[in-house]
Structure 1
């Protein structure tokens, strides 16, 4: 007789279908370990978890289990920049070299902050052989010198390519130069945002807290677990990818305690689903929680504008970006709205939905390299989100057909299908 897969948590009345779908995913093996949480109109209505957070020792996922959220961390980094914009310390339209003069060398003097945030700067990789991510802690000044010397990999503003790892390395250097306490991005987030809004999210997980962290495994496309030595692969320009993936050639490296504690705002966020959902609920509500402002509505609206779309020269994808965040078009009865946030490697996602004031997060430690968040796909995340919005529509007495798009190609294909 097969052992029952553990699961726990709660859902508020009216959201039972979400729990059922999540638990069905756990029982079927579609999800082997993860958590899902939702804030709806300011209230926590879903907080569920299940499966294993460590497949090797069969350790169960628990309420306090945290996991790496990978690129979902980029939304947090983008909000740090927005926070500084609201304080008058940064302007999106300003040249980065205004704040960081050394950055202006090698053809980078006219790159604006907004251009960098939407992945058009051509700085998706680092070609200096002395670069290593640990310089974030060991010698941030040297890291700044390396970044400042980097030549753009394409003419800034003329193409876009996802800055997978470099995104927050550059932002960290900018934050250090404008913050009056000279803090890095991770420290600024911890003291000015996480502490102020009681968000139990770390950028870089301290070793004293790593006992709570889920261990990463990778799922094969046939659903079986494999070891964590699989390389991160994408379909863009191979030469660019070799540069972009420097220092991250194997996904299992995040299980290394020394690597786990590095404060990279591109990839090293560690959180429960509940904490990440709470963060996104603040954004969904216009940037304010209980009368306390995280960022202004004006700045949030700037962040949400779709600025980048089309072919990504590094990954081959066609995602849509605003100012540091991903944009997810949603069609309900032919009306187009947008969710925003970020997906993360292997199946993570954090989303804000202003229309319904929903902040949500799905995290998993059993990475699915084929994971995609869009309608019509047998993906554990999408199935749970589909159930969530069925519940919301029922509560709000709406009868709608809802379609979610992740890329420009998805939208174009949908339009063609109607012709």
Structure 2
């Protein structure tokens, strides 16, 4: 267990009385060493009911994980990326059913000629790993040369649509498509910075180039598998972790080989790494911003209002586009994740009108949440169901 238990005064923020149970669990996670530093926020019925931060952002300096702390959220970055793509579809600049080659002619090589935008969005495009080139951090510094690397990669499965998690590469490919269709040739990160973050009063960065901003980013704490305490390991251990040790597996090629310089989790929020956009993994934000995005989606893409000014914000997606992106696809076996997968990664529930955001700087082995977040989420759901009975 991590020897970083903190007193309750290291927890800041608020909960409404009805959701006090979430704070209790959050404090237990920190006191018991399940979390080093973390944030959890919840919107219910378009109102923020939980916004908590606590623990340690950086053990070397002892800095507190507070409302100013930012967190690299890895694959949760894909959610806002997906919203950007949906907005471009709504504007008529993209179509999920079109072949990628319509927007990016050079993409049509190596068995990728028939791959559609939808294939890429739902992880069946066959470009989940790059094995024709060893990706380095310097490759990300020039988007023109990066595009040539990406388009030259042959289809991973000889042109056959196959569900395989595009953990790292999906954002690179989508970023190039977006640059080609946006009238101003902006990247996903630039669109978020101009059209989403300021409009919806959230913090969400796909790249960080200012040291002053980087100083707010929490340090990541992860462990080599052999050193993990038993309580950190999901039981039974998910099959993906065995596959990650096999250098010829799809999983290894996807999550290890394709990472720039084969970086490990604790390396991903180095300042140099965060200089460049990776819209599948490089999102830096906080739980409040995540929960607000989730709340907007739980509200059918409609605004929930600025909590400070009371001004009603614009609709993030029209009803037709929202219904389109919320269409549930059949679950299929994912050869990279080694499990059946489907559905959304961002935690919202339209029926309960709940948006849930949780971020942390200590990484365990569960892929679909672990006891830290799942206990809080259950508490939220149980509280909302009880409130609805009143």
- After TM superposition, list the pairs within 5 Å mapping 1:55-74 onto structure 2: 55-74=59-78
The DSSP-based 3-state class of the residue aligned with 1:14 is helix
Q: Provide the C-alpha distance between the structure 2 equivalents of 1:35 and 1:44, rounded to a whole number of angstroms.
A: 14
The DSSP-based 3-state class of the residue aligned with 1:38 is strand
Deviations 1:247-288 (A, max 9, x none): 244112123211122211100101110011111111111112
Provide closer, same or farther for how the CA distance between residues 234 and 73 of structure 1 changes in structure 2, counting only shifts above 3 A: farther
The DSSP-based 3-state class of the residue aligned with 1:80 is helix
Q: Provide the C-alpha distance between the structure 1 equivalents of 2:197 and 2:138, rounded to a whole number of angstroms.
A: 23
Q: Provide the C-alpha distance between the structure 2 equivalents of 1:366 and 1:390, rounded to a whole number of angstroms.
A: 26
Q: Provide the C-alpha distance between the structure 1 equivalents of 2:32 and 2:156, rounded to a whole number of angstroms.
A: 44
Deviations 1:368-391 (A, max 9, x none): 123543xxxx61000011111121
**Runs of at least 4 residues of structure 1 off by over 6 A?**
none
Root-mean-square deviation (Å): 2.2
Task: Name the residue aligned to 1:241.
Answer: 251
Task: Name the residue aligned to 1:364.
Answer: 360
Equivalent pair of 1:84/1:90 in contact (CA under 8 Å): yes
Deviating more after overlay: 197-206 vs 181-190: 197-206
Task: Name the residue aligned to 1:198.
Answer: 201
Structure 1 residue 106 corresponds to structure 2 residue 102:
no
Equivalent pair of 2:6/2:30 in contact (CA under 8 Å): no
Deviations 1:12-47 (A, max 9, x none): 121111111111222222222201001112111100
Task: Name the residue aligned to 2:307.
Answer: none
Task: Name the residue aligned to 1:383.
Answer: 375
Equivalent pair of 1:280/1:359 in contact (CA under 8 Å): yes
Gaps of 5+ in 1: 225-231, 321-326, 328-339, 343-349, 399-419
Alignment partner for residue 52 of structure 2, among 48, 51, 54? 48
Provide closer, same or farther for how the CA distance between residues 90 and 3 of structure 1 changes in structure 2, counting only shifts above 3 A: closer
The DSSP-based 3-state class of the residue aligned with 2:222 is strand
Gaps of 5+ in 2: 233-239, 304-311
- After TM superposition, list the pairs within 5 Å mapping 1:403-414 onto structure 2: none
Q: Provide the C-alpha distance between the structure 1 equivalents of 2:368 and 2:268, rounded to a whole number of angstroms.
A: 21
Alignment partner for residue 222 of structure 1, among 202, 220, 230? 230
Task: Name the residue aligned to 2:237.
Answer: none
Equivalent pair of 2:219/2:269 in contact (CA under 8 Å): yes
Q: Provide the C-alpha distance between the structure 2 equivalents of 1:310 and 1:371, rounded to a whole number of angstroms.
A: 17
Equivalent pair of 2:206/2:279 in contact (CA under 8 Å): yes
Q: Provide the C-alpha distance between the structure 2 equivalents of 1:295 and 1:268, rounded to a whole number of angstroms.
A: 23
Residue 292 of structure 1 deviates from its aligned partner by 1.1
Equivalent pair of 1:120/1:156 in contact (CA under 8 Å): no
Q: How many residues align?
A: 360
Task: Name the residue aligned to 1:304.
Answer: 326
Residue 67 of structure 1 deviates from its aligned partner by 0.6
- After TM superposition, list the pairs within 5 Å mapping 1:12-411 onto structure 2: 12-129=16-133, 131-136=135-140, 138-207=141-210, 208-218=212-222, 220-222=228-230, 233=241, 235=243, 238-239=247-248, 240-244=250-254, 245=256, 246=258, 247=260, 248-289=262-303, 290=312, 292-307=314-329, 309-320=331-342, 327=343, 340=344, 342=345, 350-370=346-366, 372-373=368-369, 379-397=371-389
Q: Provide the C-alpha distance between the structure 1 equivalents of 2:279 and 2:64, rounded to a whole number of angstroms.
A: 28
Residue 176 of structure 1 deviates from its aligned partner by 0.5
Provide closer, same or farther for how the CA distance between residues 89 and 234 of structure 1 changes in structure 2, counting only shifts above 3 A: farther
Equivalent pair of 2:179/2:185 in contact (CA under 8 Å): yes
TM-score (norm 2): 0.87
Provide closer, same or farther for how the CA distance between residues 77 and 133 of structure 1 changes in structure 2, counting only shifts above 3 A: farther
The DSSP-based 3-state class of the residue aligned with 1:31 is coil
TM-score (norm 1): 0.81
Provide closer, same or farther for how the CA distance between residues 315 and 119 of structure 1 changes in structure 2, counting only shifts above 3 A: same
Provide closer, same or farther for how the CA distance between residues 3 and 72 of structure 1 changes in structure 2, counting only shifts above 3 A: closer
Residue 304 of structure 1 deviates from its aligned partner by 2.0
Residue 4 of structure 1 deviates from its aligned partner by 2.1
Q: Provide the C-alpha distance between the structure 1 equivalents of 2:203 and 2:26, rounded to a whole number of angstroms.
A: 23
